[in-house]
């Protein structure tokens, strides 16, 4: 309990959000339990369960003041109904006095934490404190990729004969892999692949992780032959990750050069370049299993 009050807002957001989902599930389960016990379903049960959805909506979109007003009015109305009109209340009816207002308050708190986290993120981004490294795996992220790609484009504009290559290695069915391994082992896998891939790259070649399912590679002075050889080397390096021998992973590779990317970057920016790279992996009909 005390650890909750000392934790940062992002951790609190995860905890409160999870608890809110749990309360919503409990409210639904209580409805079925009451129907099982009483063998009936009346209009009050319908109103209360609809009111639970309204409570979460008011709490999330209306703010703390609206949540407090709704909670007070609900408790007054429900208490009057319970003591005056309820035919034969059971223990579930008494639990609902607190459950619905609690859901409303927690939804409001979730919204407040989300706003606080977003404000903190914007301030950090404005101050230039957002890291260029994905802290989960220790690999340069998309922000770093965007910066370095901009540098390469600047060099190309100054030296028209300058060439560079960009390639991508995408892991197929990433969500299933993460579910099979678990979150921490999954990032251990990505980190182990990162270490092996890094040993392949030369000192001026760079690697990035998109945060989900793909490694990108920036090859300054890159010739097309280097890009083709890189695929073979990456596959070979991936074969001996003994910790995850039981897992089958399919990867697809794509590459392009600055001439093809020039117009895309000018019109659509880095997002367009990433979309083009992902399209290229779809054309890799020889996608290989590295396990």
Q: What is the pLDDT of residues 89-143, one digit of tens each?
A: 778 878 888 888 999 999 999 988 888 888 877 776 666 656 777 777 778 888 8
User: Where is the domain boundary, 93, 126, 159?
Assistant: 126
Query: Are 117 and 146 within one domain?
Result: no
- pLDDT tier for residue 244 given thresholds of 50, 70 and 90: low
Query: Are 140 and 280 within one domain?
Result: yes
Say which residue the tokens 């002075």 belong to. 221
User: Where is the domain boundary, 126, 158, 186?
Assistant: 126
Query: Are 45 and 187 within one domain?
Result: no
Within 10 Å of residue 4's Cβ, how many Cβ atoms?
10
Query: Are 155 and 261 within one domain?
Result: yes
Query: Are 234 and 283 within one domain?
Result: yes
Query: What is the pTM assigned to this prediction?
Result: 0.58
Query: Are 282 and 151 within one domain?
Result: yes
pLDDT > 90: percent of the chain = 7
**Interval 82-94 mean pLDDT:** 78
What is the rounded CA–CA span in Å between residue 76 and residue 89? 17
Query: Are 234 and 267 within one domain?
Result: yes
Give me the number of domains the chain comprises: 2
What is the rounded CA–CA span in Å between residue 57 and residue 108? 9
**Interval 13-22 mean pLDDT:** 89
Domain that holds residue 155: 133-289
Query: Are 143 and 251 within one domain?
Result: yes
pLDDT value at position 161?
82
pLDDT value at position 79?
87
pLDDT value at position 291?
43
Tokens of 155: 């060099």
| 248 compared with 51, residue with greater pLDDT | 51
């Amino acid at each position: 309990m005390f650890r909750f009050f000392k934790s940062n807002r992002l951790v609190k957001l995860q905890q409160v959000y999870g608890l809110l989902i749990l309360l919503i599930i409990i409210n639904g389960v209580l409805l079925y339990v009451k129907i099982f016990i009483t063998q009936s379903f009346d209009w009050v049960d319908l109103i209360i369960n609809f009111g639970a959805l309204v409570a979460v909506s008011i709490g999330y979109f209306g703010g703390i003041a609206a949540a407090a007003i709704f909670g007070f009015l609900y408790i007054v109305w429900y208490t009057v109904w319970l003591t005056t009109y309820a035919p034969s209340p059971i223990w579930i009816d008494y639990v609902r006095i607190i459950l619905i207002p609690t859901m409303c308050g927690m939804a409001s708190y979730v919204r407040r934490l989300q706003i606080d986290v977003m404000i903190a993120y914007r301030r950090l981004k404005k101050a230039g404190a957002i890291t260029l490294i994905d802290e989960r795996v220790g690999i340069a992220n998309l922000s770093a990729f965007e910066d370095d790609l901009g540098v390469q484009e600047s060099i190309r504009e100054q030296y028209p004969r300058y060439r560079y290559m960009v390639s991508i290695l995408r892991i197929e069915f990433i969500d299933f892999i993460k579910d099979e391994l678990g979150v921490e082992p999954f990032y251990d896998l990505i980190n182990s692949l990162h270490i092996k891939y890094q040993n392949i790259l030369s000192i001026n070649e760079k690697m990035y992780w998109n945060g989900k399912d793909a490694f990108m590679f920036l090859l300054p002075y890159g010739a097309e032959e280097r890009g083709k050889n890189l695929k073979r080397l990456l596959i070979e390096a991936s074969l001996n990750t003994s910790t995850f021998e039981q897992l089958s992973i399919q990867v697809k590779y794509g590459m392009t050069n600055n001439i093809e990317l020039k117009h895309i970057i000018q019109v659509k920016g880095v997002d367009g370049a990433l979309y083009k790279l992902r399209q290229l992996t779809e054309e890799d009909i020889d996608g290989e299993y590295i396990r």
